[in-house]
DNA sequence: GGAACAGATGTAATAATATTACATTCTTTT
DNA sequence: AAAAGAATGTAATATTATTACATCTGTTCC
């Protein structure tokens, strides 16, 4: 399931907890990762990060420590994260990196289909594709259908990689701030393709953003109103 | 037809030409309009503005001079217009209004379904609905289907008014900057409704933005590449 | 007419988001 | 080791948007 990630606190900060003494995470792959994970990423998050490293090295990208940290923070969050939120969290010993640092990492992650930008929020969420990959093959050994073309098409109906169209669909809850990626059906994307074909428009990327109330918040709203 | 509005100059400025000596435009309706049109709006634009005044007064809104000017500038432009573009153009005798002035007008126009915001561009375009209304009935005497409910549903498949869901779809050309509103089919919106129903999500507003190359620019691109 | 009210606008300051340009460092290739 | 390319650091600045409060304008009610 893919419910909005948590009831109330939109934009929760990472707790900078003291769970950093674990393994150095050194993904045994070809990537340039050598971070010590100073952000207390959960084991699950670290798994996804390793998976991401594999995915993007296969696309000819380098998952550096910087990029890994940014992706980790986005994965760990329970709601979309803004660029300046990330900057805050990336501070080490009261020295904060400058905006370009984060924006460059975000650009990289976007290009490699590891995160999405929610236009209406100017904020970023991880692509669910990553989780699906991870479930399918935790070791990260096999990516997706047509890896040889550099054109990765995930089961969830949106494409990734240099040659593919970046397209994603979201449900955004105004009450709790939760965002759900609609990745379980290609229906919407197919429809867009059809319309574009009719208009002879060459689609390069697309975003669908629906704002409203998630299941939970719809229920609560009605409960509050109905008597 | 609804082609992207003009080949090359994205964000063209209004020419501040000297075509202002026409009629005072004083829409004979109940609205608070009494501007002198210092922006040289075309006759067509003035027609749309009058139509808009009628539409929104029917919704209980007041089309003031300020709002009228902003809408006029957006209508007159051949590409999406940014808020600060508008501020520039709204200057009178080297005195420029402050941001809230424009943002308030934009909010009003958005609420009344007269313009749309293109999230990916942080810019605004007129709703094609207005033109359709105008074609159907230039006098602006009858709006649409269910005016009595205050819930105006246009033929073009997206709703307007206080009770309706604001939803719109756009094709955005990266080469020429032109934006086309896909308003001739409810297919996309219907699909979104279906998906939302399945997820028990209450839709309040939605935007679909496809970026790529319009017919013209696709052709030019191919011509440039193919030999 | 005039008080009272609501809606609309003016104004100053500031917040939030994003980019440019250039210097430096780190990696890979030759 | 030198050269080339990729990534990062840094300072300054651009762009987009909001907050808070004062003022004005038109309408309602007496
Ligand atoms: Zn995705
Ligand atoms: Zn919710
Ligand atoms: Zn529209
Ligand atoms: Zn074009």
Summarize pLDDT for A187-210 with one digit per residue, the tens.
999 999 999 999 999 999 999 999
Summarize pLDDT for A120-165 with one digit per residue, the tens.
999 999 999 888 766 655 444 444 444 444 455 554 556 654 456 8
Task: Answer with the residue of higher pLDDT: B125 or A96.
Answer: B125
Distance B221 CA to ligand 3 centre (A): 29
Angstrom distance, B62 CA to C7 C1'? 10
Structural domains in chain B, CATH included, are 5-144+156-225 (1.10.10.10)
Q: What is the pLDDT of residue B150?
A: 46
Q: Nearest-CA neighbor of B42 among B73, B5, B9?
A: B73
- Summarize the confidence of residues A57-71 as an average pLDDT: 93
Q: What is the pLDDT of residue B152?
A: 53
Identify the closest residue of chain A to B184 by CA–CA distance: A195
Q: What is the pLDDT of residue B96?
A: 85
Summarize pLDDT for B15-49 with one digit per residue, the tens.
333 333 333 333 333 333 334 567 889 999 999 99
Question: Quick check: helix, strand or coil at residue B197?
Answer: helix
Average pLDDT in chain A: 78
Banded pLDDT at A181 (limits 50, 70, 90): very high
Identify the closest residue of chain B to A175 by CA–CA distance: B202
Is B214 in the A-facing interface, judged by CB distances under 8 Å? yes
List, as ranges, residues 64-123 from B with C-beta within 8 Å of A.
119-120
Q: What is the pLDDT of residue B80?
A: 98
Percentage, residues of chain A above pLDDT 90: 55
Ligand nearest to the CA of B173: 4
Backbone angles phi, psi at A140, to 5 degrees: 70, 25
Q: Which residue is nearest to nucleotide D20 (CA to C1')?
A: B100
Summarize pLDDT for B127-171 with one digit per residue, the tens.
998 887 666 554 444 444 444 444 555 545 566 544 568 899 999
């Amino acid at each position: 399931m893919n419910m909005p990630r948590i009831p109330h606190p939109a934009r929760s900060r990472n707790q900078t907890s003291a769970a950093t003494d674990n393994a150095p995470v050194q993904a045994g792959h070809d990537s340039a990762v050598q971070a010590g994970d100073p952000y207390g990423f959960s084991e699950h998050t670290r798994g996804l990060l390793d998976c991401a490293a594999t995915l993007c090295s296969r696309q000819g990208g380098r998952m550096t420590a910087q990029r890994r940290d940014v992706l980790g923070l986005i994965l760990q969050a329970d709601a979309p994260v803004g660029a300046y939120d990330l900057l805050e969290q990336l501070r080490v010993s009261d020295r904060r990196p400058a905006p370009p640092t984060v924006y460059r990492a975000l650009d990289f992650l976007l290009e490699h289909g590891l995160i999405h930008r929610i236009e209406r929020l100017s904020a970023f969420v991880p692509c669910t594709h990553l989780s699906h990959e991870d479930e399918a093959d935790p070791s990260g050994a096999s990516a997706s259908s047509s890896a040889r073309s550099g054109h990765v098409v995930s089961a969830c109906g949106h494409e990734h990689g240099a040659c593919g169209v970046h397209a994603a669909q979201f449900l955004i809850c105004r009450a709790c701030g939760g965002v759900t990626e609609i990745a379980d059906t290609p229906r919407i994307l197919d429809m867009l393709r059809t319309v574009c074909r009719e208009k002879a428009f060459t689609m390069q990327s697309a975003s669908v953003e629906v704002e409203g109330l998630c299941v939970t918040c719809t229920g609560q709203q009605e409960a509050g109103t109905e008597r």
